[in-house]
Amino acid sequence: MVQDLKNLGYFEFKRGGKLPSFESFPSSIQKAIVLGVFDGDGIQGTSRICTSNVQFLHQLKEYYNIKYEVRTKVDINADYINNNPIKPTRNLYGLAFGASLFNDLLDNYIDSMGRKRILLNEYREKYVHLKEAVGSKEYLQNMINSFPQSWLARHFDCNVKTLHKLCLEWGIELQGNGFWTLEKLEEARENFNKLNK
């Protein structure tokens, strides 16, 4: 059994590399493997997994065409880590699968860890990820002042209703009717194209 795992690339995987045999497995086995990793390193109530194996996260992101970014969750060189008496030895990275993929993983294999088997609401998760992507009230206000809401919704991969809800929650001043003249739209379009390059 140990030799089988070695042949399948699990030794390299545990050392922080990709899982080379992953794409050769049937889809149901692939999903069971990912769910098993989530059972160990996933955050309960979310579709997010946190691990030091950044290569595997990028492998999953590419294979499943996950739209969310791989983000650094813990940087061992950051000040808040240096001042902490308990110091991790490796950086920690996170990736959200998204509600649709995560729910599919749960449907595929029913015997995963019980307390982490929480089906996710796709609308709620989009709202949470919008907050994370925007980051701050100041940034959102600047974006609202610079671009039409419909453009921003496309940029942040949400609908206008979701964006508007966040604006209301954060007390963002919205542009009134007639604000976006043709001249302003032309200027905004040029800047928006730069933003999305």
Q: What integer pLDDT is reported at residue 95 of this predicted model?
A: 93
Q: What integer pLDDT is reported at residue 132 of this predicted model?
A: 83
Q: What integer pLDDT is reported at residue 141 of this predicted model?
A: 93
Q: What integer pLDDT is reported at residue 54 of this predicted model?
A: 92
Domain borders along the chain are 1-119, 121-197
Q: What integer pLDDT is reported at residue 86 of this predicted model?
A: 64
Alpha-carbon distance 3 to 20, whole Å?
Answer: 15
Whether the model clears a pTM of 0.85, i.e. scores above it, the answer is no
For the chain, 197 residues long, the average pLDDT of each consecutive 10-residue run is 67 75 89 93 91 92 92 66 62 89 93 90 80 89 92 88 91 88 87 77
Q: What integer pLDDT is reported at residue 129 of this predicted model?
A: 81
CA nearest neighbour of 190 among 157, 146, 156: 146
Q: What integer pLDDT is reported at residue 76 of this predicted model?
A: 56
Fold of 1-119: Endonuclease I-creI (3.10.28)
Q: What integer pLDDT is reported at residue 29 of this predicted model?
A: 92
Tell the burial category of 126 from Cβ atoms under 10 Å away from its Cβ (0-12, 13-18, 19+): middle
Phi/psi for 196 (5° steps) reads -100, 10
Q: What integer pLDDT is reported at residue 20 of this predicted model?
A: 82
